[in-house]
Amino acid sequence: MQSKIVKEGLEKAPHRSLFKALGLTDEEMKRPFIGVVNSKNDIVPGHINLDKISEAVKAGIRMAGGVPFEFQTIAVCDGIAMNHIGMKYSLGSRELIADAVEIMAMAHAFDGLVFIPNCDKVVPGMLMAAARLNIPSIFVSGGPMLAGNMADKKVSVTQVFEGVGAAASGKIDQDELARLEDNACPSCGSCAGMFTANSMNCLTEALGMGLPGNGTIPAVYSERIRLAKTAGMKIMELVAKDLCPADIMTAAAFHNAMCMDMAIGCSTNSVLHLLAIASEAGVDISLDKFNEVSAVTPHLCKISPAGNHHMEDLYRAGGVQALYHELDKKGLVDRKARTVTGLTVGENIKSTPVLDYSVIRPINNPYSESGGLAILFGNLAPDGAVVKKGAVDPEMMQHQGPARVFESEEEAVAAILANKIVAGDVIVIRNEGPRGGPGMREMLTPTSTIAGMGLDKEVALITDGRFSGATRGASIGHVSPEAAAGGIIALVEEGDLIRIDIPALKLELLVDEDILAARKAKWQAPDLKITTGYMKRYAQMVQSASTGAIFVK
């Protein structure tokens, strides 16, 4: 047991005295010490129930003979942080979370860790920490929110964001927008669609780090409490077997997770986070690998915003394990990959068939033969850009139009709301990348406003920042290199023609090389937008989105 270094031996009498100050008995001192990493707070809707999850986890640990110690991490609600300076801090929180867990785990010599995340950057931050620390670990999320209901139609926060554009263009009135506001988020949990939080919770299960059901059991179901108790008991097995994240988060696990990513059509942010987690795990994956996996993985699910189903529907259809069961019919899953159940993926999915083929399509009748995400390359994105192609209308899979250039999200939103964007335009929002933002803001407001105005089938958006998992339409993010690093996106001028060809995986600026060279000669790197505190340091350390926006090592 790692905890021996803080509790055994003559010289550890002072340490034992401090543990006894916590109320521990001599008998408890002999048992494994388990850290319970909880991201609970009172402002994130996906986290307000995590106290109940934590109590269940601790009960499970005690039932199995361990001693739990809970500690907290920070958590940002991306929805609340959206469209103001707060969103610059969201991606940066991922690294802080990983670092904070590392500090607590190393300082206190835990024998194992149970991670309790739910929303956006918390899940990847904790997975990065688990990979870095490599002590027995298991994840149990707080679970997804139920969808709301309006006029017998399911709604979620996506419809509220899009409602802003609809109200601005007169398609709905203020009363209808208010009703959306009141009904879209009816329970605690991570927002009800396949947005970033639910994408990452499903991918945690797909990686083998969460028990079956981790990604899809609704937050308000008692089954979620039982899952948490089971996770608490299961960590004791992992400690006894010394089964660590390095044994689970292997190249095979990341292959499986990418297959799941493509089959469900996860948030584009999943690409950023899987790259960062793999880096911590010492597994080499690249953007090209995502396209290779996508080319052979059928798109089987369209969860909001790509379709009308929500997380509760995916849960009823059998969830992640049922998707693996379906993908396995074409041999797409590495069955030998190990998981926190103590079993392999193949053993886990023996009896997990799809329960509703209207939610999870049969392998021989997919939405498309290739996956729901695509990495685009070209002179505008030589190091890649990401699009959720499963949420792009057929009319916009290939598009060519004039660039409408904006130096920030705020400028773009103002132009959209002022009706200055017309059909055919390609909105370019730059200097929002990892360094230039700083923090690579998610930009749900411009994409949802465009959709609410009914322009999502006629207007494309391109940025070196990010788009929310709730985004739909031809929204292409993570353009690399970013503008602040002198990428070609920094050289785009108003009216330049841009060609998008998603099936061909191409993103091109149709400007002669000699003209671009002349523009490059005049270009100057912009000043930092935040010159104090953590985000100043973040901007100085962060790498390109093509690396997962990890820190320089």
Active site residues: 468
Cα–Cα distance between 251 and 242 in angstroms, integer? Answer: 20
DSSP 149: E
Q: Encoding tokens for residue 52? A: 């109940």
First to last CA, the chain: 30
Q: Do 183 and 148 form a contact (C-beta atoms < 8 A)?
A: yes
Cα–Cα distance between 391 and 287 in angstroms, integer? Answer: 20
What are the CA-CA distances from residue 504 to residues 374, 377, 396, 457, 464 (Å)?
Answer: 10, 9, 13, 19, 20
Handedness of CA 293, 295, 298, 304 (dihedral sign): positive
Cα of 217 vs its chain's centroid, Å: 17
Q: Encoding tokens for residue 303? A: 């969860």
Q: Do 348 and 212 form a contact (C-beta atoms < 8 A)?
A: yes
Q: Do 200 and 207 form a contact (C-beta atoms < 8 A)?
A: no
C-beta neighbour count of 177 within 10 angstroms: 18
Cα within 13 Å of Cα(256), Cβ side: 32
Backbone angles phi, psi at 539, to 5 degrees: -60, -30
C-beta neighbour count of 18 within 10 angstroms: 12
Q: Which helix (H) or strand (E) holds 253?
A: helix 251-264
Nearest to 488 by CA among 496, 183, 354: 496
Nearest to 443 by CA among 423, 422, 427: 427
Strand 148-150 vs strand 475-477: parallel, antiparallel, or unpaired? unpaired
What are the CA-CA distances from residue 547 to residues 69, 207, 384, 543, 544 (Å)?
Answer: 34, 19, 10, 7, 6
Q: Which residues contact 437 (CB under 8 A, 6 or more apart)?
A: 88, 431, 465, 529, 539
Matching residue, tokens 């605690």: 188
Nearest to 52 by CA among 215, 181, 219: 219
Cα–Cα distance between 21 and 506 in angstroms, integer? Answer: 62
